[in-house]
């Protein structure tokens, strides 16, 4: 009988305990579509992308060769020429890039974020380790925010 009264007395407190177990609301972020396109060969059907600062126009193949789901980690690094993105690829994507590094040596790999081309780098055998360093044509003060957004985007954000 005492147990029944105890349960009745504790009943109003249950929502407080249950509410504490609820998972927190997801952090607000804007997913970033990150794509890498390979420069097309002369004579291939291509679309042209233009880098924002330099105005360099690069003809690229129709489909991306790497997606955000291929990225394991992104960091901002300082090298002799300035600050750049270090994009570390997942093992399978790193192997794909290694094969591409030999087949497409000399062509450019273009980073496109949310439909905007931001940077390009030449494909060479140094990419075989799955670490891709690329300078982007953004002001230095905008780079940390870009890296943060790239890190927050789950690999399945754009899988349909």
- Is the pLDDT confidence value at 140 over 50? yes
pLDDT at 62: 86
Global confidence as pTM: 0.78
Q: Is the pLDDT of residue 46 over 80?
A: yes
- What is the average per-residue pLDDT within 123-152? 92
What's 95-139 look like in SS3?
A: HHHHHHHHHCCCCEEEEEECCEEEEEEECCHHHHHCEEEECCCCC
What residue ranges define each of the domains in the chain, with the CATH number in brackets?
A: 31-152 (3.30.1360.200)
């Amino acid at each position: 009988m005492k147990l029944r009264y105890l349960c009745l007395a504790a009943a109003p407190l249950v929502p407080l305990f249950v509410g504490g177990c609820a998972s927190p609301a997801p952090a607000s972020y804007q997913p970033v579509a990150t794509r890498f396109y390979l420069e097309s060969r002369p004579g291939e059907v291509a679309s042209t992308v233009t880098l924002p600062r330099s105005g360099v126009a690069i003809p690229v193949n129709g489909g991306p060769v790497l997606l955000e789901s291929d990225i394991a980690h992104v960091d901002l690094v300082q090298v002799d020429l300035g600050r750049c993105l270090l994009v570390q690829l997942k093992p399978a994507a790193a192997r794909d890039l290694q094969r591409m590094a030999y087949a497409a040596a000399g062509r450019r790999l273009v980073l496109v974020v949310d439909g905007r081309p931001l940077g390009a780098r030449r494909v060479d055998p140094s990419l075989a380790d799955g670490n891709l360093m690329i300078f982007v044509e953004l002001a230095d003060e905008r780079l940390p925010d870009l890296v943060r957004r790239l890190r927050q985007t789950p690999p399945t954000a754009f899988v349909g």
